[in-house]
Structure 1
Amino acid sequence: MATHRADARQFLDERGSANIALTPNGLNPSTILEKAVRERIVESFFFKDQCFGVNEADIVDRVVRHVRFVGGTYGSAQKPTPFLCLAFKLLQLAPSDAILQEYLGFGGDKFKYLRALALFYIRLTRTAPDVYRTLEPYLEDRRKLRRKARAGTSLTYVDQFVDDLLTKDRVCATSLWQMGKREMYEDLDQLEPRVSPLGDIEDLLDDDDEDEENKDKNGDDEDDVEMLNGGGDSDDGARNSDDDEGEVKEDSERRNRRSSSEDRRRSEDRERSESRSRRRSRSRGEES
């Protein structure tokens, strides 16, 4: 009597055999994810309940219903996310490029997590030129994504997630295979030079230099105009300063006059008081 085994266990038991089709980048799909992560995925309730016996079309339904964040494992128990479980299922299904384009295009415009899943799978299985060629256009996708990890949930964006796939060595609890730099594939004529949406960087730098030169010229012209118009202002300033000095002198003279008059009054008061005291002393002497 033949025994029935789950497709995940059969997929894992056949790793390394000649019957498994390698991915376009030459990797074994059953060993792309780390062993500990694969075992957690197979033992998880979500994978057993939602990923058994599904096809490429069912993947869309699973993403729409259950995927609310990207990530690898989360929590103290390091539970695999639905996102990572579905990525492992895609490694089993090995969808064609046409199906992946549907995930990215029409489906990705409506469901951003479906696009993120397809981009993650392409980074794992396609060659470096295809990865650059496919992922770079989505650096302009500004939609928000939730990311869940051991530390908790955080906010990211589709373009940031794509940039992580192109530049980092580990994303979603998965070690990414090492790609060469883009310049190397450009030198080998496997990739066209990438044109930024902002334009050519050299043209932008030239425009910045021209703007700075124009600012400098305008600043010099304004200084010249101020110098030409500044003669009258300087005379007025000199006149104003002379007037101020005259006012200061008058104030000081007034203060001096007041102080001198006060001194005179004080001296007169003293003389009067002294004369009175003398008179009183004389009158007392005569009476005695």
Structure 2
Amino acid sequence: MANRTVSDAIAIHGTNPQYLIEKIIRTRIYESLYWKESCFGLTAETLIDRAVSLTSFGGQYGNQKPTEFLCLTLKLLQLQPSKEIIIEFIRNEEYKYLRALGAFYLRLVGTSLEIYQYLEPLLYDYRKLRKRTIDGGFTIIHMDEFIDELLREDRVCDTILPRIIKRYVLEENDELQPRESALEDLLEEEDDDDY
């Protein structure tokens, strides 16, 4: 029962939401101590407390143990909270790992348009994040680098990401406005200073 998706869950990308995490990794999560001790009986509201206490993110480490971040991602896929809750995770500026968890979850379940609308503004978040590496150590990356990986890579945190429509296609269909880079503003300021 503890490893089942909620009964009223909607299929994501044509499948059970939990299946967005590969079977072997899902099995490792179910067998992990963190899952058994900290994720049992969580609701969308109580999960926030666990996400706020995260100190790193990543996929698997050491002897292929899942990170707490990956366990909470699977729990979100099980619970399938409303998009409004996930958007609040993303908009939260106080807790960076809560924001990273919301962004990762949205990248897994969101539509291409939603992904670009809600994740691109996070490219201006330059806070440092601790990323758990496969050898069990940590490396430092920035939130904007993590978001860039979510928008460009096929696999993040040992999870295969669903394909999304390329940004330029959405722009050509008038679904998205052309992206404005912060660098363009800096270049314009420099040009003004030259005169």
Is the pair's TM-score, using the shorter chain for normalization, greater than 0.5?
A: yes
Aligned position for 1:129: 113
Q: Where do residues 271-286 of structure 1 align in structure 2 (5 Å cutoff)?
A: none
Distance 2:95 2:9 in 1: 31
Give the Cα separation in 2 of the matches to 1:176 and 1:64: 24
Rounded to whole Å, the distance in 2 between the matches of 1:165 and 1:27 is 21
Structure 1 segment 1-288 matched on structure 2, within 5 A: 6-8=1-3, 10-11=4-5, 20-23=9-12, 25-65=13-53, 67-75=54-62, 77-105=63-91, 108-151=92-135, 152-199=137-184, 204=188, 207=191
Query: Which protein has the larger Cα radius of gyration, Structure 1 or Structure 2?
Result: 1
Cα 1:111–1:200 change in 2 (3 A) is closer
Gap runs ≥5 in structure 2 = none
Superposed CA deviations along residues 199-257 of structure 1, whole A, max 9, x for unmatched, are 379x85xx49xx6xx8xxxxxxxxxxxxxxxxxxxxxxxxxxxxxxxxxxxxxxxxxxx
Distance 1:33 1:156 in 2: 23
Considering Cα pairs closer than 8 Å and 6+ residues apart, tell me whether 1 or 2 has the greater RCO: 2
Cα deviation for residue 197 of structure 1 reads 2.4
Cα deviation, residue 129, structure 1: 1.0
Q: Which ranges of 4 or more aligned residues in structure 1 deviate by more than 6 Å?
A: none
Q: Distance in 1 between matches of 2:148 and 2:55?
A: 20
For the residues of structure 2 that align with 1:196 and 1:112, how far apart are their CA atoms? Answer: 22
CA apart distance, 1:148: 0.6
- Between the aligned residues of both structures, percent identity stands at 44
AA aligned to 1:53 is G
Q: What's the secondary structure of 1:146's corresponding residue?
A: strand
Which amino acid letter does the alignment assign opposite residue 22 of structure 1?
A
- Contact 2:5 2:77 (C-alpha < 8 Å) held by counterparts: no
| Number of residue pairs the alignment of both structures matches | 193
Q: Cα–Cα, structure 1 residues 98 and 109, in superposed 2: closer, same or farther, change >3 Å?
A: same
Aligned-partner residue type, residue 197 of structure 1: A
Write the letter of the residue equivalent to 1:54: L
Q: Aligned partners of 2:14, 2:171: CA distance in 1, in Å?
A: 21
1:29-82 Cα offsets, whole Å, 9 max, x none, are 1210111000000011101111111111111111223x211101001x110000
What displacement does 1:109 show?
1.3
Q: Please give the TM-score of this superposition, normalised by the length of structure 1.
A: 0.62
Residues 108, 161 of structure 2: 8 Å contact kept: yes
Question: Equivalents in 1 of 2:138, 2:183: separation in Å?
Answer: 32
Superposition TM-score, scaled by structure 2 size? 0.90
Structure 1 residues 96, 190: CA separation in 2 closer, same or farther (over 3 Å shift)? Answer: same
CA displacement at 1:20 relative to structure 2: 4.7
1:168 shift after superposition: 0.8
**3-state SS of paired residue (1:178):** coil
Contact 1:27 1:125 in 2 (8 A): no
Task: Output the amino acid matched with 2:72.
Answer: L
SS at match of 2:182: coil
Alpha-carbon separation, structure 1, partners of 2:9 and 2:5: 9
Q: SS where residue 109 of structure 1 aligns?
A: coil
Q: Deviations over 1:82-136 (max 9, x none)?
A: 000000000011111211122122xx21110000000000000001111011100
Q: How many angstroms apart in 2 are the aligned matches of 1:188 and 1:78? A: 42
